[in-house]
Amino acid sequence: MRAILGSYDSELTSAEYSPQLTRRMREAEDMVQKVHAHSSEIEAQLSQALEELGGQKQRADMLEMEVKMLQSQSSTAEQSFPLSREEVSSLRLKIEELEGERSRLEEDKKTLEMQLERFTLQGNYDQSRTKVLHMSMNPASMAKQRLREDQARLQEECEQLRELVRALEHGGPVPANLEAAAGLPSSKEVAELRKQVESAELKNQRLKEVFQTKIQEFRKVCYALTGYQIDITTENQYRLTSMYAEHKADCLIFKATGTSGTKMQLLETAFSRTIQELIELHLLHQDSIPAFLSALTLDLFSRQTVA
C-alpha cells in the first residue's frame, strides 16, 4: 500500500497542481478584497452613526438644559404669584360681575336723569328749595274738584245700573227710582210698546201673505198672456219656459245687464242651440226680444198644431 501511494505521488507533478492553485488563490484574493470593501463600508457607517449619536447627545443635553431653565422660571413665577387656577377663575368671575354691576348702574343713572328731566318739564320742583304760591281761584283746583264730582256721579250711576241689572236678571219689577235713574219707560209704556210691536208684526205678516198671493197671481197672468212661465234662478237671471214646449227641459235663460237691469242677454242652453235661425233673425239682426219670443211661440204652436 505504501508502494501504491508512492507511485501515485510520483505520478502527480507540480504542473498538474498549478492551475488549480492559481484559481484558488485568485478566488481567495477576491474574497479578501470583498471582505476589505465590506469592512470599509461598515467602518464608514459606524463613523456616521457615531457622528449622529454625538449630535443627538448634544441635542439631548441642550433640551435638558432648557427643561431645567423652564422649571426654574416656573418655580420663580409660582413664588412671585402664588395663585391657583381656582383663585384666578374666581377673580375673573368677580371682575365680570363688577363690570355687569357698573353697566346696570350706568343704565339706572340714565333712566333717573330722563325721569328728572321729564318731571322738570311737567312742573315738578324740589319743595325744600322752591316755594310755590297758589291762587285762591286756581283753575287746576277747580278742574280737580269737577273731576272728583264727575267721578262720584258716575260711580253712583254705575251702582244704580248694577241694581237695575240684578232686578232684570231676577225677573222682578223694576223699582221706580231705578226706572227714573236709568231713563227706562214704565211698565205701562212697555206693555203698550209690546202691543204696538205685535200689531206691526201681524200687519207685516199679512202684507207678506198678500204679496205672495199677488206674485202668484201676477205669474199666472203673465203665463196666460205671454205663454211663458218666468222663474228667477239666481240673481239677475230669469228662466223662461213656453207653454208649448215639447219637453220640460226646453227653456231659455236671460241675464239682466247694465246699471238698471233693463238690457237682457240670452245665455246658451241646449234648447237655444236648436233655434239658431230665430236667434240670428230676431236677436242679431232685428235686436228685438219680444219679436223673438213671439216667433218662438208661433213656431212651437205650429209644431203642436201640425202634430
pLDDT at 266: 92
The answer to whether 289 and 283 have CB atoms below 8 angstroms apart is: yes
The total of other beta-carbon atoms located within 10 Å of residue 174's CB is 16
pLDDT band at residue 76 under the 50/70/90 scheme: low
The answer to whether 182 and 168 have CB atoms below 8 angstroms apart is: no
pLDDT at 126: 58
HSE, CB side, 13 Å, CA atoms: give it for residue 209: 6
Terminal alpha carbon distance of the chain: 167
Which residue would you say has higher pLDDT here, 183 or 218? 218
Amino acid at position 87, single letter: E
What is d(CA 21, CA 256) in angstroms, rounded to the nearest whole number? Answer: 142
Which residue would you say has higher pLDDT here, 201 or 92? 201
Tell me the sheet residues that pair with 231. 239
The answer to whether 252 and 269 have CB atoms below 8 angstroms apart is: yes
What is d(CA 109, CA 112) in angstroms, rounded to the nearest whole number? Answer: 5
Say yes or no to pLDDT of 208 above 70.
yes
- Identify which of 162, 186, 183 has the alpha carbon closest to the alpha carbon of residue 174: 186
Grid cell digits, residue 67: 427643561
Query: Could you please report the per-residue DSSP string of 203-257?
Result: HHHHHHHHHHHHHHHHHHHHHHHHSEEEEE-STTEEEEEETT-SSTT--EEEEEE
Residues 216-255 have pLDDT tens digits of 999 899 899 999 999 988 888 999 999 999 888 999 999 9
Tell me what the mean pLDDT of segment 40-55 comes to: 77
Residues 89-121 have pLDDT tens digits of 877 888 888 888 888 888 888 888 787 777 666
Say yes or no to pLDDT of 79 above 70.
no
Contacts of 223 (CB under 8 A, 6+ apart): 229, 230, 243
Pairing relation of β-strands 252-257 and 263-267? antiparallel
- pTM given for the model: 0.37
pLDDT at 291: 93
Residues 132-152 have pLDDT tens digits of 666 666 677 778 888 888 888
Q: SS3 letters for 37-83?
A: HHHHHHHHHHHHHHHHHHHHHHHHHHHHHHHHHHHHHHHHHHHHCCC
Grid cell digits, residue 166: 240684578
